[in-house]
Amino acid sequence: MGCQQSASRHTIAVIPRDTAEEVWSSEHGGAAAAAQRHGLSVYWNGPNREDDAEQQIALAERAVHARDYGILLSPNHPFELTTIVQRALDRSIPLVLLGSRLSIKPSPHLSYVLSDAKSGGAQAAARISTMLHGRGEVVVIGVDPMSPGSVDRANAFERALERESPDIQVAERLIGSPSFGQAEQATETVLHTHPHLAAIVTLNINATRGAYAAIHAAGLDRRVKIVGWDQALDLLFLLRHGQIDSIVVQNTRAMGYIGVEQLVAEAEGRPVPPYVYVKPALVTRDNVDEDRIQQMLDMDWRELNWQPDVHESTTP
């Protein structure tokens, strides 16, 4: 029992939204690199689908019970994780929430490392403006109030688009948590109701997959462009072949690294900023092989001699 407790006190529990997609595997790499610098280990585990809050809760409870060194959690639900987060704080276990806000404000032992939705929205809006030459219609798919960060992305994109190109109209804003099939069906409907539609913005991986399937089946690959959000191997393959125009990629590798650094600072009693925002990047066929993009996409959690570019993050 004593050996187990000693190991736990040198272990950081890293709990992603899911373990299936590249966006969260890259987080593992950044967290492992930072932990190694401080002589700590990482226990990286999460659900196999993004909507499984119960598995996230169970893994967080394990970390609290074991009194792990700290917890790095990427919540996949805006409400269900609050109780276990509060339980960790009550036991003075340092905790960083990565990627999404919960209703709990930063406090001693709790801080946030977030993807900069404002920057991502501005980049997506600029891309749409260029594609549509400042005029036309766009549809937003995947606005899900139950998916942390989704509404922030939609709002940031629409505000930036209004500033950048007021003559481009958001023809529809589809609300809900689309599965692949639901997103495909919604896109089919949109293509019929908006025959002159030139672009679709998708706010999550399944929305991007479903939108692409519908556009491809309709033979509209060249006319209706997709600007997606969040990286996955199959979507990057489509991007490389010009079938998806661009993807707003979260720099979860840097976020994982910074999150662990926050936990260490908290454990050592050093000041910790309540919020750190990490800039995403708009990835296209032209820039996907640039070194800075490949570092963001890297999923190798054994590559320990790595540090993020400090210019990629900001504090308010």
pLDDT digits (tens, 9 = 90+) for 62-101: 999 999 999 999 998 888 999 999 999 999 999 999 998 8
- Residue 176's pLDDT band, with cuts at 50, 70 and 90, is confident
- Same domain for 245 and 135? yes
Per-position DSSP letters for 65-80, written without gaps between them: HHT-SEEEE--SSTTT
Residues 140-159, buried b or exposed e (16+ Cβ, 10 A)? bbbbbeebbbbbbbbebbbe
Same-domain check for residues 27 and 143? no
Output the six-digit token pair for 176: 């809900």
For the chain, what is the mean pLDDT? 90
Domain around 210: 117-249
CB under 8 Å to 220, separation ≥6 — which residues?
191
Asked whether residue 53 is assigned to any structural domain, the reply reads yes
| Distance (Å, whole) CA 20 – CA 312 | 25
Least confident piece of the model among 82-86, 121-125, 146-150, 306-310: 306-310
Q: What pLDDT is recorded for position 149?
A: 83
Indicate if 135 and 255 belong to the same structural domain.
no
The kind and range of the H/E element at 225 are strand 225-229
Q: Are 1 and 61 in contact (CB under 8 A)?
A: no
Is the pTM here over 0.95, yes or no? no
Q: Provide the terminal-to-terminal Cα distance of the chain, rounded to the nearest Å.
A: 43
Residue 139 one-letter amino acid: V
pLDDT tops 50 at residue 4: no
Q: In this predicted structure, which of 16-25, 90-99, 248-257, 306-315 has the lowest mean pLDDT?
A: 306-315
The owner of tokens 């191997």 is 233
**Can you give the pLDDT at residue 3?**
45
Residues 172 and 110 grouped into a single domain: no
Of 53, 234, 43, 260, nearest to 148 (Cα)?
53
Which residue, among 64, 49, 65, has the nearest Cα to 16 in the 3D structure? Answer: 49
Beta-ladder partners of 111: 96
For residue 28, what is the domain's CATH number? 3.40.50.2300
Q: Check whether residue 168 and residue 53 sit in a common domain.
A: no
Domain count, the chain: 2
Contacts from 60-63 at CB under 8 Å and sequence distance 24+? 60/13, 60/15, 60/84, 60/85, 60/88, 61/87, 62/13, 63/13, 63/15, 63/88, 63/93
HSE of 114, CA atoms in CB hemisphere, 13 A: 23
Strand partners, 227: 201, 246
